[in-house]
Structure 1
Amino acid sequence: MERIQTKPIERVKDISKEAFIEKYYKPQKPVLIEGLTKEWPAYKKWNLDYIQSLAGDQEVPLYNNEPTKGKQYSAEPVMKMKLYDYIEILKTKPTDLRIFFYNILDNMPKLISDFEYPDIGLKFFKRLPAMFFGSEGSKVLPHYDMDLSDLVHFHFHGKKSVMLFAPDQTQYLYRIPFSVHNLEEIDLDNPDFETYPALKKLQGYEVIMNHGDALYMPSGYWHYIKYLNGGFSMTLRAFTKKPKTFAKMLYNVFFMRHFENGMRKLRGQKWIDYKNEITIKNTHKNLSE
């Protein structure tokens, strides 16, 4: 079976601030850094048992892989569950339920003392260290982050697969208008090149992340994530300093998101179906040109 064209993401063991800036940040090129977390308490402490021991009775919103429909918001949780019970599921059986953007400062500030903001030349926004949890086989819809931050993504407990696509690949990804994700029917693991021929031109990067690995994802990069077993990750973000990118971020956060949710409430499934149709039409039109 044909696959999406990808090449391995470079892996390095430790890196200086100067080398990171010159080789990866300035050219906006992804890299996986091994060893960046080995001096952190988190490297030895962070696993599902440890997080579960701190969970208490707090409830968390959970998301699944089902496309949102009708008048649902574009990113809407399907249920809530006690964090302790959810982690118990991760430890015992597969599930497509995921925790998305669990803010450490708000929900589990004790974890702050377990890690450091790495000195690699990025000015991290320290108000939003966020965690993400998933089970074996669960997938995260291909998307890019609305705030267009440079991201460093740290994985703990187990392994996960990550595909990345640079912003210039958006034309082949069937991006849905007024959103940051692609057509939800597309399966990048089993691409249907007949129905979605633009995928043949798509070129990306791919890597397997292990416990403690740190992945640099440049601003605007698409990411498609698949958990190979139950685990969790933490993302630190650095906001862009580029005026054009900053203006686009303001548009995404303060207009596009609210316009999209407003149209969903107003027109429901008709709006979603309309956008899906024009996505395919416009992508194939660009492909022929």
Structure 2
Amino acid sequence: MEASSYFAILVIFCCSVAPSLKSEPEVPRGHGEELGRHRDPEGHIPVLHDVPSPLEFWEKYASQRKPVLLRGVAKNFPAYSLWTDEYLRENYGELKVKLEAKVEKDHYPVGEKGLAQDTIRNFLKTYKNQDKYIVSQLPDPMSKEVMVLPCVRCGSFKNRALEANLWLSSGGTKSLLHKDADNAFNCLLNGTKDWILIDPEHEVNVPMAEEAISEYGGFSLINVDRVNLQRYPDFAKVPWWYANITAGDCLWLPYSYLHQVRSYGTKNMAVSVLFSRLKEFDSTGCDTAKPEYTPLSEADMVWTYDGIASQTMGNTDPFELNETLVDWCEENKDKILDATAVLEGLKQMQAMEEEEDENFEVHDVDILEEISHQVMMILDPTGTGSVSCDRLTQLTVAELKAVAEVMSSDPANTEQYEYKHFSPEQVRSVIMLAYDADSDRLELEAFIKKYQEALHGSEKIAREVFEMLDPENKGYANKDDLKGGMSQVLDMFTPRQLDDPAGIQWQHAKMEDEMFRKDAETPMQTHSRNAETPMQTHRENDKQADHAHGEL
């Protein structure tokens, strides 16, 4: 064969083989890495060194749903200098708070008061060497040492402060990528926090858990430690901003603004104050109002918490609820609100985003019916069967709060949460595992140990369960005792609450991400997770960000 012919055949062969060499798809930038590696940030959010006037704050930030960082303004809070561990222990040690794990949705730690329930005193004794994090409504006695910023102390904002929250850990906390239903000022008192922020206009490219259509809050299915861009390719398009927050700073976070937060420092403590989703601003009184910091204890807070009873954290904004009730009434052809109209409204609220039609399947109808009747008992105490639309426009805040408690209260706000968290099947299994058939005895200590080991439940609730099985206080329960008390115990753990489809969806995504980690991790990706996070890198590079954005 001539050399020229051989060369031609070789070229044809190489060209035909070349496509097969590209069969492996190109790995997108940031795939399998931490959130924020998929593209460079747009920059740091605007930074101010003084509190803006109420009108400027509304026009430039609140009405535009734009975040802004107010540098150093929380140094005016008494809490900034007072809230040492010793001070908190001595002055507020017996107040009750809610707990979460440092990694959001990982698990619920056990506290002195049960699952996810602790006292401040016990938390301070254990938080530096245990995986626990106070994410709680701020107890009222502590509110006198937290201040409300002058820009939200007049006009429409004045009476629309919803609740205040406390955040305390030994650092190392990590949230999901999520959005909150209400506006908030987040003020850091100790440590540092790094935020990733995504404008709501880009949510279309963010995989979100399916929430009810009524929800303004929610969370993404993205694994913030290991973003799967092959599963969620559109996320690669999403631009992001960042905020580096140090002790004394306050960040304004608009409602439904996607964000992810990591905390650092041996003690990381913050407070936040939530505000309604205002659509317009009445500046009445702002012209003459003095630009003063006001103790939170003097503010007209909608939801408060005495530090002893159940919390109201996360309850619905009663002003928004009022609009919803009026809408349900006006949509009714008879222009009245009765139990049937409330039930239909609740069914619509349970619809998933992709099921906004008349044929979606509603679950937990019996629970919704019960809620409907409870709502009408509040709105129609005389039992006439209905209320007019005019009556709904005249509801008091107290009446609206009572309705909100029925419609949206969180079981995790109570010491009884543990009874909602575990299923009857799980509890029955633990009881039978701890029961010794040979001696026909279920010993108290054996049951407590098995309950804590198998379910990671609290000793407090384990003892309460055992008391139901051992009503004569013998210190043990035999087979007859178990037969007599088992139904009472299991009934306590039978849920009477709506399903959480978003939570179930998150668990499925978490399992799939774990499979992805095992199958696809590379040394380079492992290295990136051991290195600085994207926000830490920009913290070092942007020490002058305050000055660059000071005029924004």
TM-score (norm 2): 0.41
Matches within 5 A, 1:1-289: 2=30, 3-5=37-39, 6=41, 7-17=43-53, 18-64=55-101, 65=103, 67=105, 78-90=115-127, 92-93=128-129, 95-105=130-140, 109=141, 111-121=142-152, 123-124=157-158, 125-126=160-161, 128-146=163-181, 149-178=182-211, 180-184=217-221, 186-229=222-265, 230-242=267-279, 246=320, 255=346, 259=350, 262=364, 272-273=504-505
* Separation (CA, whole Å) in 1 of partners of 2:180 and 2:119: 27
2:310 paired residue number: none
Higher strand share: 1
CA-CA distance at 1:215 after TM superposition: 0.1
Secondary structure, counterpart of 2:126 in structure 1: helix
User: Are the structure 2 counterparts of residues 42 and 170 from structure 1 closer, same or farther at C-alpha, using a change threshold of 3 Å?
Assistant: same
Cα-to-partner distance string for 1:224-250 (whole Å, 9 max, x where unaligned): 12111331211112212329x947995
* Separation (CA, whole Å) in 2 of partners of 1:48 and 1:166: 37
CA-CA distance at 1:141 after TM superposition: 2.1
Secondary structure, counterpart of 2:202 in structure 1: helix
User: Are the structure 2 counterparts of residues 171 and 101 from structure 1 closer, same or farther at C-alpha, using a change threshold of 3 Å?
Assistant: farther
* Separation (CA, whole Å) in 2 of partners of 1:274 and 1:190: 15
Secondary structure, counterpart of 2:219 in structure 1: coil
User: Are the structure 2 counterparts of residues 119 and 262 from structure 1 closer, same or farther at C-alpha, using a change threshold of 3 Å?
Assistant: farther
User: Are the structure 2 counterparts of residues 53 and 178 from structure 1 closer, same or farther at C-alpha, using a change threshold of 3 Å?
Assistant: same
Cα-to-partner distance string for 1:117-169 (whole Å, 9 max, x where unaligned): 111146154452221223322212222223xx221110111111122222222
User: Are the structure 2 counterparts of residues 31 and 209 from structure 1 closer, same or farther at C-alpha, using a change threshold of 3 Å?
Assistant: same
User: Are the structure 2 counterparts of residues 262 and 233 from structure 1 closer, same or farther at C-alpha, using a change threshold of 3 Å?
Assistant: farther
Secondary structure, counterpart of 1:188 in structure 2: coil
CA-CA distance at 1:187 after TM superposition: 2.6
* Separation (CA, whole Å) in 2 of partners of 1:25 and 1:270: 29
Contact 2:71 2:250 in 1 (8 A): yes
Moved more, 8-17 or 21-30: 21-30
User: Are the structure 2 counterparts of residues 23 and 246 from structure 1 closer, same or farther at C-alpha, using a change threshold of 3 Å?
Assistant: same
Cα-to-partner distance string for 1:164-200 (whole Å, 9 max, x where unaligned): 222222222211112633345x333442222222221
User: Are the structure 2 counterparts of residues 102 and 246 from structure 1 closer, same or farther at C-alpha, using a change threshold of 3 Å?
Assistant: closer
Q: What is the letter of the counterpart of residue 171 of structure 1?
A: V
User: Are the structure 2 counterparts of residues 41 and 257 from structure 1 closer, same or farther at C-alpha, using a change threshold of 3 Å?
Assistant: farther
Cα-to-partner distance string for 1:52-75 (whole Å, 9 max, x where unaligned): 333323443322236489xxxxxx
Moved more, 170-179 or 268-277: 268-277
User: Are the structure 2 counterparts of residues 209 and 274 from structure 1 closer, same or farther at C-alpha, using a change threshold of 3 Å?
Assistant: closer
* Separation (CA, whole Å) in 1 of partners of 2:247 and 2:347: 36
User: Are the structure 2 counterparts of residues 133 and 259 from structure 1 closer, same or farther at C-alpha, using a change threshold of 3 Å?
Assistant: farther
User: Are the structure 2 counterparts of residues 55 and 115 from structure 1 closer, same or farther at C-alpha, using a change threshold of 3 Å?
Assistant: closer
Contact 2:209 2:502 in 1 (8 A): no
* Separation (CA, whole Å) in 2 of partners of 1:276 and 1:173: 17
CA-CA distance at 1:14 after TM superposition: 0.6
Secondary structure, counterpart of 2:269 in structure 1: strand
Q: What is the letter of the counterpart of residue 232 of structure 1?
A: M
CA RMSD of the aligned region, Å?
3.8
CA-CA distance at 1:33 after TM superposition: 0.2
Higher relative contact order (CA 8 A, sep 6+): 1
Contact 2:136 2:166 in 1 (8 A): yes
Secondary structure, counterpart of 1:228 in structure 2: strand
Query: Any gaps of 5 or more consecutive residues in structure 1?
Result: 70-76, 281-289
Secondary structure, counterpart of 1:158 in structure 2: strand
Secondary structure, counterpart of 1:120 in structure 2: helix
Contact 2:210 2:501 in 1 (8 A): no
TM-score (norm 1): 0.73
Q: What is the letter of the counterpart of residue 202 of structure 2?
A: Q
* Separation (CA, whole Å) in 2 of partners of 1:31 and 1:270: 30
* Separation (CA, whole Å) in 1 of partners of 2:57 and 2:364: 41
* Separation (CA, whole Å) in 2 of partners of 1:82 and 1:161: 28
* Separation (CA, whole Å) in 2 of partners of 1:226 and 1:51: 24
* Separation (CA, whole Å) in 2 of partners of 1:206 and 1:248: 35
User: Are the structure 2 counterparts of residues 15 and 68 from structure 1 closer, same or farther at C-alpha, using a change threshold of 3 Å?
Assistant: closer
